Structure 1
Amino acid sequence: MDSVDLNVLRSVLQWRRAGQRVVLFSVVQTWGTAPRAPGAMLALREDGVVIGSVSGGCVEDDLIARLHDGRIPAGGPPVQLITYGVTQEEAARFGLPCGGTLRLTEERVGDPAWVAELIARCDNHEIVARTLNVETGEVTLQAAGKHDSLAFDGRILRAIYGPRWRLLLIGAGQLSRYVAEMARLLDFEVLVCDPRTEFVQDWEELHGRFIPGMPDDAVLSIQADERTAIVALTHDPRLDDMALLTALDSRAFYVGALGSRVNSRKRRDNLAELGLSEQAIARLHGPIGLPIGSHSPAEIALSLLAEIVALKNGAGQKQKEAMESV
């Protein structure tokens, strides 16, 4: 899940623990073109404060209006379904593009214990399925896998929640600072490892959490998984290759290293001499980034994150090959 949706649940938990009534809206089905995909959430507090989104804005306005005009009574059913955009006129009224339609669950949050447990399990880097019975409002949590997806049959909603995407940077130099700043805007949790003490000044303000030790130990300590990207940016093979030896045998969805095509070929040869398998070496992205003609640190950071996000979203290699063929 995106951490914007995880933040919705954090607010739900805070509000309910403070004794405030909360209604949680979740997108469960869409037809045509919809601004948010199934699984997107919005929480509405009893005083009209909202967090999250389920559309481009107009639907959110109507959800708030439902609270103020009495369409969400305190004693109503625990869950009900709402549909927007059934007709072209209604789609235009609510700003749904191309005549799109979306269906939401309107769920009154009672005991927030499930919210606390779900957040804790996501923070522990677990993937969790939340099952909601629309008829009774009952919520249960189960372990889920990386290939599971949201399912709704009109009575049972099974939504998938997971941890934040992480980016581990090997090296705390100037390029890493640009990458970290952009990655935070893209909602990545930024981790940094650099045993060179000369490079750590003022990193705290960039909100990059430092991982102590040498690069290979850092990769092991974070237990890199399918939601982790690892990039070696020191330009020093004594540090970069240490991280790559471990990272390329991990479950990280992206492993890259800064360097020209010539240096990247040399790095692959070095990794082979160090005993890394051909299959593992083939996972290495180098040169890093999409080919946008980047030169400055900011442009290199942009091209790197574009490649990481494309791969995260399932577009990675095809997009890079298309760009290189132009």
Structure 2
Amino acid sequence: MRLVLDKEQQELRSTVRKLLADHARVREVLDSGEGIDRPLWKRLAGELGLAGLVVPENLGGAGAGHVERAIVAEELGRSLAQVPFFASAVLAVDAASALGDEETLPRLASGELIGTVAVAGGWGPLDVRASERDGGWVLDGKAPFVIAGDVADVVYVYNGQWFVVTGGFERKVLRTLDPTRPVARLEFSATPARKLDGDPIARVRDLAAVALAAEQLGGMGKVLETTTEYAKVRVQFGRAIGSYQAVKHALADIYSSCERAESLVRLAAWTADEDRDSLPLVAATTQSFIGPAYFQAASGGVQLHGGIGYTWEHDAHLYYKRAKTSEILFSGAAARLERQLGLEPA
């Protein structure tokens, strides 16, 4: 078991971090209303090939692993870059891989297509009706909260069975807590669909939990970094606020959470690559800890920034909002962990 990044993995992290620093446009993209940073996504997916990190080389991917994908997700979580990496390079790629959709997978891996997955809350089946018509399938119903649904070219729809749609549906962008992760409602009305065999919902969910945990870890690290720097320069009553014991203890708590979260993320990513049978337990354990931990760290970051932390101009509230919405995405992780341990959910 290797939980320490090797030289190549560290170089990957440095490359992605530098690229994101050179293209820091969070506020600009928010103000534009575009939803995603398309030039940045083109560089990440097309030029660097990061959309297909876990896709085999014979299908147009990089043939890397979930450890490498977690590194990229972590850096995206640090920067809050508005690219559809989680929706397309994680959810859609994993669904296409697990379902054997080799027709679409290479185009997702290259970044030519943006994909996403539509499931109900708690990763259950949607209330979407599938009917056979003219030798094919059509869908009717609604998918209420779809990440990157506003820009997705391909949507994998789960209603107890799996279907893929590439058009013929309406989208409505929703105003949600987190403006950096667009969500849309999709409405299907006799929408042509292609039925796929298999039901890998648990596998897709567990791999998504690993990638999201890496993203959350990146956000926690950024909160710790910016809050620590602020505590060094903000002076109150003639002293830097970082010299006060209460502030030191609060920062120490965030640091401790970050260290534990990093250990869990490294283990989860390794498990996704090397020990498939153990992934459900490790994924549930990771999300049960890191979801609440990130939100607690982001809350502390806002408070320790004082009045400036509550302003729109400061980024503290963006991490706070991302932390809460990410925690809700896997709100059933604690119950899944209890089931994995043979316990009854509370």
Q: TM-score range by the shorter chain?
A: under 0.3
Higher helix share: 2
TM-score (norm 2): 0.23
Q: Tell me which of the two structures has the higher relative contact order, counting C-alpha pairs closer than 8 angstroms and 6 or more residues apart.
A: 2
TM-score (norm 1): 0.24
